[in-house]
Structures are given as structure tokens and as C-alpha cells.
Amino acid sequence: MYDPDKRKIFSALCHAAILFSTLFMSVGIPIAMLFIANDPVVLENAKESINFHLNVWIYGIIITALLWLTFGLLFPLVFLGYALHWGLTIWAIASVLTKPDKPFRYPFIFRVL
């Protein structure tokens, strides 16, 4: 069967990649996991992590555009965006560490992969 400790570490690393860098490492680590891992749960977590990171980028662009268009009046959206980003990331890491046999699914995102 699959090693539960490796499953926990690799799955948590996929979701925690965005804590290292919000640009290239955030999707680079999960993409690397798609190639090196053969565990189906780790692969599902890597795909979900990539989808979440792409959503964070897109929502960041939308929030930035709204800030420019409203001359900063919608600045509280920045705090909401960061709270959701960090909260969902921490929730995902905690979930894959406590339930390693079940892939984590982020709510409120669109999935490309």
C-alpha cells in the first residue's frame, strides 16, 4: 500500500507551497508532485492545490483591478482576500495531516485540472 507518512508530507507540501512564494513555487511544487508521486491521494491534492493557486492569482488580479477602478474605495476586499487565502491554506494543511486518506477539496473555486 502507500506510506501514510509520505502521503501526509507530500500532500501538505502541495498545499503549503503557496506559503513559500505566491508566484512560481506555489504551482511548481505541486506540478513536481504530479511527476514524482504515484500515490492517487497525493496526485489529487496536487491538482487541487494547483487549481487553488490559480484561483488566488485570478482573484488577486480582479481585486487589484477593482482597487484601481474605485480609487481604493474597495480596499477591505484586500483583507478579505488575504483572510480567505490564508484561512483556506491552513485548513487544507490541517485536513491532509489529520485525514491523510482523503484528498482535500477547496470550496468556492473553479477547477481547471
- Nearest CA to 12 out of 58, 48, 38 is that of 48
pTM of the full structure:
0.91
Tell me the Ramachandran region of residue 70: left when phi exceeds 0, alpha when psi lies from -120 to 50, beta otherwise: alpha
Residues 87 and 80: their CA atoms lie apart, in Å, by: 10
Q: What is the pLDDT of residues 24-74, one digit of tens each?
A: 788 999 999 999 999 999 999 999 999 999 999 999 999 999 999 999 899
Residues 16 and 12: their CA atoms lie apart, in Å, by: 6
Count of other CB atoms within 10 angstroms of residue 61 = 10
